[in-house]
Amino acid sequence: MKKYFLIGCFAVFLACGKEAPPSPPGPISLVFPTQNLDCAQGSLVNEVTRRIPFEWREATESESYRLEIIQLSSGQKTTQNTLLTSIEVPLRMGEAYSWQVIASNTKVLETTPSALWYFFNAGSETTHAPFPATALTPLSGAQITMPAEGQVSLRWSGSDIDNDIASYTLLLDNQSPPSTSRSLNGATATQFTANVVQGATYYWQVVTTDLSGNSTPSAVFDFKID
């Protein structure tokens, strides 16, 4: 009996002594610049450049962060690496930008990206182009079981600092980038019911136009019907 008791204790000791496997960083919450708003905060570098203070909340299990900023009009990408949760970056005024933070640590290869936010670096402009529309459903890369009714509902959201969105144009195809325009139920409708077939992959994009004639395309989203 004593022998079995010792074996049991040894097994418990081994189980308790095992270390949990390392984890990737936890979720990241962005703080500033605020999503879909004009940003006039930060010090002026010169008459065309402002130093924008980026800020986010610390992610668990993170050791470092990579800030990625894209100027929407040109596609130019700016990358900054930091160990902190804030950093100032000089950016051209009068331009719209997207930004995202990727957290990492040295224990695992997997990284954790934040949500993608948009903002406008305020300048002397009197009108703003809309921000790119965001897919609500299906999310890009989704794999959907063939619906019994053979239809999938596409939903998106749009935003414009001037609050003057005039229309959306939906492009939906089996190729990327999509080029076939689909008729919406109203110029500012944010939903479309698409007929789908099993085994097909669909690509869709939304172009947002405001009352001043400014147009902004979204990213190309995709989903597959299993």
124-162 confidence digits (pLDDT tens)? 877 889 999 999 999 999 999 999 999 999 999 999 999
CB 61 within 8 A of CB 104: no
Question: pLDDT tens-digit profile of 67-113?
Answer: 999 999 999 999 999 999 999 999 999 999 999 999 999 999 999 99
pLDDT at 5 over 50: no
Residues of the chain with CATH 2.60.40.10: 30-121, 131-225
Q: Are 52 and 31 in contact (CB under 8 A)?
A: no
Q: Is 165:214 a contact under the CB 8 Å cutoff? A: no
Cα separation of 208 and 210, whole Å?
7
Residue 52: closest CA among 99, 2, 104: 99
The token duo for 157 is 């959201």
The domain at 131-225 falls in which architecture? Sandwich (2.60)
In CATH, which superfamily holds the domain spanning 30-121? Answer: Immunoglobulins (2.60.40.10)
